[in-house]
A and B are shown apart, each in its own frame.
Chain A
Amino acid sequence: MIEPHFPILTCLILLPLLGCVPFWFMKTSRAIRWWAFVLSLAEMMPGLYLLRFEMGTADFQFVESVPWVTDWGLQYLLGVDGISLFMVALTLLIFPFCVICSWTSIKGRVKEFHVSLFILVSALIGVFSALDLVLFYLFWEAVLIPTYLLIALWGGNGRDQAALKFILYTLAGSALLLVAIIAFRVEGGSYAIPTLMSRSFSFRFQQWMFVIMALAFAVKVPLFPFHSWMPGAYGEAPVAGSIILSAVMAKMGAYGFLRLGLPLTPDAAQYFAPLLIAMSICSILYGGLLAFAQSDLKKIIAYSSLGHMGFVVLGIFLFNLNGVQGALIQMFNHGITTGSLFAVAGFLYSRSGSHNLSRTLGLGKFVPVFMGFWGFFVFAGFAFPGTNNFVGEFLILAGAFERNLWIGALAVPGALLAAAYMLRPTQKMAWGEPATATGWRDMIPREWVSLVPMALLVLYLGLAPTLFLKVINPSLKHMIGALESRGAMTLMVDKNILRTSNNRVPFDGNAGGGGHP
């Protein structure tokens, strides 16, 4: 582990919490909103310290270790590696975006709303940087309460039921996670994740632990068939809630698989990989089909998330570098794209008062710039080449074909469905009759400020993701290497499918390897 000079992760966790204090002295909503916005930007400043992250190593960095309850072996242990760094970065990025997207949509209890949001951000950074299982669990649980409040207090008409369903599903998952954490302490003698990663557990124990953790993570992702809380929660939450739920919280589940599932129970992960792959493919196809059938914009985006996250989990359980790289890239990129789509849907709601497609027609003629932004993020949403989502999807599919041609062939229709469910509403919104967008105002400065950085990120990550890859690769290679050393090679690429066997006559096309000199 590389020792840090400054407790940056603690700083990032505490800053939003401390930033809540001045709220109690503020009287007007305007002051609260501005303070929230300034603080969300200020949170990014210490985040810049993370740029000192050393590439080329799989070690945890910015590690902070303080003994906590020594009798129980608990410690305040934080740190990030290539896998978690971008999740922290994504949370920091989404934070001001959420604040700005809630500027007009949250009209009552503005102070409480922002306090909930701040606590949520703090807890999310905690989840992605905790290296102690108990600490991880505390942050994991801490995410639930403010999220519940966001849905239940500031949500749409069906908020009560959506919030209840959300809390029931996720609490059930969390309870299972707690069981696993205690079992790891009993069996492994520590709560520290790096210590547990070096332990070897019996296959039977791993099987039980993997099943328990996978249930908790599958609910959080969500993964088919544990997704039924998702459309309600995403659909009924306020804009900021939908953004943070889909952009960051959904990643907690996938992150759980990467941080705990694969490193702590590698043999069981391999054993259950076919099941997880099947569930992922079901999520991709089922999510895509359901998204296609929706007429509510937020529901379309919600079900599209089911499909996209299906790709993420598929990539993780392919156990090859392309797949896992793609999964991690897709986690980050999905946050950017889906967050932006939810934001645009929120901006539309402020004009139409509805998320229904039939109330958002004729945008191409009356609010062309707005329509342009929607179209741009839609392109990213269905992984148009050159946009951010394409990179992740391409790598995952490459990993899938490498692993088994049939997995690749089954996942490919997901890419088609994405185009179908994204373009269908877009066509209606642009040209639908009778136009409901008459008299609407086109993009206002606040919307420009929120969407332009996201659009630039979509292009940057779509055309030049090499920096991203440089950061994540050492950690992922280390993880894949550890899996291979445990015998995962049996599950790796079936080279015979791709190459001719020794006793077979090759087609003799050429000596191999084209390319520009």
Chain B
Amino acid sequence: MASGPDIINSIYPILPVAVTFAAPFFIRLLAKNRNRREAVSFVFSTITFLAVVFMAPGILEGKIYTCTLFRILPGMTVSFCADGLSMVFALISSFLWILTTSYNIGYMRTLKEHAQTRYYICFGVAVFGAQGVAFAGNVFTLYLFYEIITLFTYPLVAHYQNKEAFSAGKKYLVYLLCTSKLFFLPAMILTYVLCGTLDFQLGDIQRGIFPADANPVLLIVVYVLFLAGLTKTAMMPLHNWLPSAMVAPTPVSGLLHAVAVVKAGAFSICRIMLSVFGIDALHNLGLNMPTAYAAGFTIIAAALIALTKDDIKARIAYSTVSHLSYIVMGVAMLTPGGVEGGVSAIAHDAFPKITLFFAAGCIMVVTGSKKISLMNGLGRRMPWTFGAFALATLSFIGLAPASGFLSKFYLITGATDGGQRVLMLVILASVLLNMAYFGPIVIRGFFMPPVKGVDLSRYAEAPKTMVVPMFMIAVLSILIGFYPQTFVDFVDVYGRLWR
């Protein structure tokens, strides 16, 4: 056992949140000049990333930074903390915001989209919400930023303001808001009633915050409420909002799937499981394996549905539903490998996932089509785009040393440690299914002749502002595999007492 946590009061965890908070105001202020408006996103995203990176050495040394901003009620504050778990999500969301901004500019300008200022403002607020979720120091702060993400991504989902967009937006809000109000809110209130505080247990994932004499049945109810309330994780059967939200512009899909939304949900579940309930309570209440099996079911079922989709965005969306459950399943194993694999999957899956969406966006900008069956031969006209898609696919298939390999490796290790053969089989089956639903897109693009009646000669690569960030992320998704400890170190620091 290592020594106790080194918890330090510091403004560090507020800095990235404050920077992202300021960004939308500046975007609004400079709305009239589009170059300046978009430069604001670049500048603020870079500063945010640097502010997060700034904390990394201290966190890796075992420090935990905390800061309280407002005291609302006894035991309920707006407070922030930066620990290993926060860093994984914060690093990813802030870094991908930089690259997404570049892609955004190309996409929005090329398609001459309407309401671009509103779009950038909401995008900025969503990232603010993601940073808030990452650095939340208690359940209330987590809830606050979780809700901010929900409400400010609605205008992005319904961006096109047509019937289809409104319908998808409505579904998005109904799913996310209903579950958070009906389940997350009472779960939080019951936690407050039982514990008298909503603060996370920091530096010790073994212990939760619940008192030893809490009614176990009630604790199970609270746990299930939390799980059902955090619908952003898109675990079945509460996953339907995610494929519908694909009606949004492609960079928004990237935001939803990799930068802010679903990752915020998965991160929140990790936080609730490890910093609120704690490993001992989850073990003793027997909650871990049912959660892992539910996640395992989602992994397979969503992958099977993805196989049936001809719409490239829908296929990627179902793959997200499937991949998100890796995170939940890994953490629910409650073994070192499982937690490492689950939490690091937040980062390891983000790079290839956003690459896939960006590639799909490039294809749509160029061809105006989302149909996979019409993409035969398109890879020869758009080699960089399809190349990036192929690299991301390699990652999801789990080919070493791509980033996807790492999370799968840790997850299998975790399943082996826990003697969970079924979960191991789930991961292996999912690898095959990933190959089955992503592989054909690459093969069609590069190796199959064009579909009759489709003239590919008029197509070329999308604008550089879109292609360059996409390819950079694709390369990064491979490079990360050469530095497997980049994110796992943070997870290890987070769970050091346990280890």
Query: Using a CB–CB distance below 8 Å, which chain A residues touch chain B?
Result: 364-365, 379, 384-386, 391, 394-395, 397-398, 401-402, 405, 408-409, 412-413, 415-416, 419, 423, 431, 462-466, 469, 496-500, 506-517
Q: List 7 A-B contacts (CB under 8 A).
A: A416-B177, A507-B219, A509-B207, A511-B207, A514-B197, A516-B199, A516-B200
Q: Which of B212-249 contact A (CB under 8 A)?
A: 212-216, 218-219
User: What CA separation (Å) do A328 and B151 show in the bound complex?
Assistant: 28
Contacts beyond the supplied A465-B72, A469-B73, A510-B281: 14 A-B pairs with Cβ under 8 Å:
A364-B118, A385-B143, A391-B73, A405-B218, A499-B214, A500-B216, A506-B214, A507-B219, A508-B284, A509-B207, A509-B211, A511-B207, A512-B212, A516-B137
Q: Mark B106-129, 1 if CB is under 8 A from A, else 0.
A: 000000000100100000000000
Tell me whether B270 is interfacial, beta carbon within 8 Å.
Answer: no
Whether A464 pairs with B71 at a CB distance below 8 angstroms is: yes
Q: Please tell me which one of the listed residues A405, A419, A498, A517 contacts residue B214 in the complex, with CB atoms under 8 A apart.
A: A498
User: What CA separation (Å) do A384 and B166 show in the bound complex?
Assistant: 22
Whether A514 pairs with B200 at a CB distance below 8 angstroms is: yes
Whether B213 pairs with A412 at a CB distance below 8 angstroms is: no
- Give the chain A neighbours of B137 by CB distance below 8 A: 516
User: What CA separation (Å) do A419 and B151 show in the bound complex?
Assistant: 11
User: What CA separation (Å) do A82 and B449 show in the bound complex?
Assistant: 80
Q: Please tell me which one of the listed residues B189, B209, B285 contacts residue A513 in the complex, with CB atoms under 8 A apart.
A: B209
Whether B212 pairs with A510 at a CB distance below 8 angstroms is: yes
Question: What is the CB-to-nearest-CB distance from B111 to chain A, in angstroms, rounded to a whole number?
Answer: 19
- CB contact under 8 A between A497 and B215, given known A508-B284, A510-B281: yes
Q: Which of B169-185 contact A (CB under 8 A)?
A: 173, 177-178, 181-182, 185
Tell me whether B156 is interfacial, beta carbon within 8 Å.
Answer: no
Question: What is the CB-to-nearest-CB distance from A234 to chain B, in angstroms, rounded to a whole number?
Answer: 25
Question: What is the CB-to-nearest-CB distance from B304 to chain A, in angstroms, rounded to a whole number?
Answer: 32
Whether A509 pairs with B199 at a CB distance below 8 angstroms is: no
Question: What is the CB-to-nearest-CB distance from A376 to chain B, in angstroms, rounded to a whole number?
Answer: 12
Tell me whether B194 is interfacial, beta carbon within 8 Å.
Answer: yes
Residue of B nearest to A462 (CB): B72
User: What CA separation (Å) do A402 and B280 show in the bound complex?
Assistant: 26
- CB contact under 8 A between A500 and B215, given known A408-B186, A507-B281, A516-B7: yes
Residue of A nearest to B158 (CB): A431
Whether B193 pairs with A398 at a CB distance below 8 angstroms is: yes
Question: What is the CB-to-nearest-CB distance from A416 to chain B, in angstroms, rounded to a whole number?
Answer: 4
Whether A412 pairs with B182 at a CB distance below 8 angstroms is: yes
- Give the chain A neighbours of B22 by CB distance below 8 A: none
- Give the chain A neighbours of B71 by CB distance below 8 A: 464, 466
Question: What is the CB-to-nearest-CB distance from B16 to chain A, in angstroms, rounded to a whole number?
Answer: 18
Whether B280 pairs with A412 at a CB distance below 8 angstroms is: no
Tell me whether B467 is interfacial, beta carbon within 8 Å.
Answer: no
- CB contact under 8 A between A509 and B278, given known A391-B73, A419-B177: yes
Whether B75 pairs with A398 at a CB distance below 8 angstroms is: no
Whether B214 pairs with A515 at a CB distance below 8 angstroms is: no
Tell me whether B293 is interfacial, beta carbon within 8 Å.
Answer: no
Query: Using a CB–CB distance below 8 Å, which chain B residues touch chain A?
Result: 7, 66, 68, 70-73, 75-76, 78-79, 81, 115, 118, 137, 140, 143-144, 147, 151, 158, 161, 166, 173, 177-178, 181-182, 185-186, 189-190, 192-197, 199-202, 206-216, 218-219, 276-278, 280-281, 284-285
Question: What is the CB-to-nearest-CB distance from A6 to chain B, in angstroms, rounded to a whole number?
Answer: 33
Whether A516 pairs with B189 at a CB distance below 8 angstroms is: no
Whether A394 pairs with B189 at a CB distance below 8 angstroms is: yes
Whether A510 pairs with B197 at a CB distance below 8 angstroms is: no
- Give the chain A neighbours of B182 by CB distance below 8 A: 412-413, 416
- Give the chain B neighbours of A416 by CB distance below 8 A: 177-178, 181-182
- CB contact under 8 A between A516 and B79, given known A397-B189, A408-B186, A465-B73: yes
Whether B208 pairs with A419 at a CB distance below 8 angstroms is: no
Whether B147 pairs with A384 at a CB distance below 8 angstroms is: yes
Q: Please tell me which one of the listed residues B78, B209, B219 contacts residue A386 in the complex, with CB atoms under 8 A apart.
A: B78
Q: Please tell me which one of the listed residues B166, B181, B194 contacts residue A498 in the complex, with CB atoms under 8 A apart.
A: B194
User: What CA separation (Å) do A409 and B186 show in the bound complex?
Assistant: 8
Residue of A nearest to B286 (CB): A507
Whether A514 pairs with B195 at a CB distance below 8 angstroms is: yes
- CB contact under 8 A between A515 and B72, given known A509-B207, A509-B280: no
Whether A514 pairs with B209 at a CB distance below 8 angstroms is: yes
Residue of B nearest to A372 (CB): B28
User: What CA separation (Å) do A440 and B66 show in the bound complex?
Assistant: 47
- Give the chain B neighbours of A413 by CB distance below 8 A: 182
User: What CA separation (Å) do A516 and B203 show in the bound complex?
Assistant: 10
Residue of B nearest to A510 (CB): B207
User: What CA separation (Å) do A497 and B202 show in the bound complex?
Assistant: 28
- Give the chain B neighbours of A364 by CB distance below 8 A: 118
Whether A509 pairs with B73 at a CB distance below 8 angstroms is: no
- CB contact under 8 A between A509 and B78, given known A413-B182, A416-B177: no
User: What CA separation (Å) do A117 and B197 show in the bound complex?
Assistant: 45
Question: What is the CB-to-nearest-CB distance from B23 to chain A, in angstroms, rounded to a whole number?
Answer: 17
- Give the chain A neighbours of B166 by CB distance below 8 A: 431
- Give the chain B neighbours of A499 by CB distance below 8 A: 211, 213-215
User: What CA separation (Å) do A512 and B209 show in the bound complex?
Assistant: 6
- Give the chain A neighbours of B194 by CB distance below 8 A: 498
- Give the chain B neighbours of A514 by CB distance below 8 A: 195, 197, 199-201, 207-209, 276
Whether B284 pairs with A507 at a CB distance below 8 angstroms is: yes
Residue of B nearest to A469 (CB): B73
- Give the chain A neighbours of B151 by CB distance below 8 A: 379, 384
User: What CA separation (Å) do A73 and B208 show in the bound complex?
Assistant: 61
Whether B210 pairs with A431 at a CB distance below 8 angstroms is: no
Residue of A nearest to B282 (CB): A509
Question: What is the CB-to-nearest-CB distance from B284 to chain A, in angstroms, rounded to a whole number?
Answer: 5
Question: What is the CB-to-nearest-CB distance from A262 to chain B, in angstroms, rounded to a whole number?
Answer: 22
Question: What is the CB-to-nearest-CB distance from B182 to chain A, in angstroms, rounded to a whole number?
Answer: 6
User: What CA separation (Å) do A500 and B212 show in the bound complex?
Assistant: 9
- Give the chain B neighbours of A464 by CB distance below 8 A: 70-72
- Give the chain B neighbours of A516 by CB distance below 8 A: 7, 66, 68, 79, 81, 137, 199-200, 202
User: What CA separation (Å) do A464 and B75 show in the bound complex?
Assistant: 13
- Give the chain A neighbours of B173 by CB distance below 8 A: 423
- Give the chain B neighbours of A506 by CB distance below 8 A: 212-214, 216
Query: Max chain B CB contacts within 10 Å: which of A384, A462, A469, A508?
Result: A508
- Give the chain B neighbours of A401 by CB distance below 8 A: 186, 189-190, 193
- Give the chain A neighbours of B210 by CB distance below 8 A: 509-510, 512
Whether A512 pairs with B161 at a CB distance below 8 angstroms is: no
Whether A419 pairs with B189 at a CB distance below 8 angstroms is: no
Whether B73 pairs with A500 at a CB distance below 8 angstroms is: no
- Give the chain A neighbours of B218 by CB distance below 8 A: 405, 497-498
Q: 6 tightest A-B contacts by CB?
A: A514-B209, A509-B281, A512-B211, A510-B207, A514-B201, A515-B199
Whether B186 pairs with A509 at a CB distance below 8 angstroms is: no
Whether A398 pairs with B208 at a CB distance below 8 angstroms is: no
- CB contact under 8 A between A412 and B185, given known A464-B70, A509-B208: yes
User: What CA separation (Å) do A401 and B225 show in the bound complex?
Assistant: 14
User: What CA separation (Å) do A417 and B229 show in the bound complex?
Assistant: 16
Whether A507 pairs with B209 at a CB distance below 8 angstroms is: no
Query: Max chain A CB contacts within 10 Å: which of B140, B161, B211, B284?
Result: B211
- Give the chain A neighbours of B68 by CB distance below 8 A: 516
Question: What is the CB-to-nearest-CB distance from A513 to chain B, in angstroms, rounded to a whole number?
Answer: 7
Whether B70 pairs with A402 at a CB distance below 8 angstroms is: no
- Give the chain B neighbours of A408 by CB distance below 8 A: 186, 189-190
Question: What is the CB-to-nearest-CB distance from B128 to chain A, in angstroms, rounded to a whole number?
Answer: 13
- CB contact under 8 A between A517 and B7, given known A498-B214, A509-B210, A510-B278: yes
User: What CA separation (Å) do A395 and B72 show in the bound complex?
Assistant: 11
Residue of A nearest to B199 (CB): A515
- Give the chain A neighbours of B75 by CB distance below 8 A: 515
- Give the chain B neighbours of A398 by CB distance below 8 A: 189, 192-193
Question: What is the CB-to-nearest-CB distance from B29 to chain A, in angstroms, rounded to a whole number?
Answer: 13
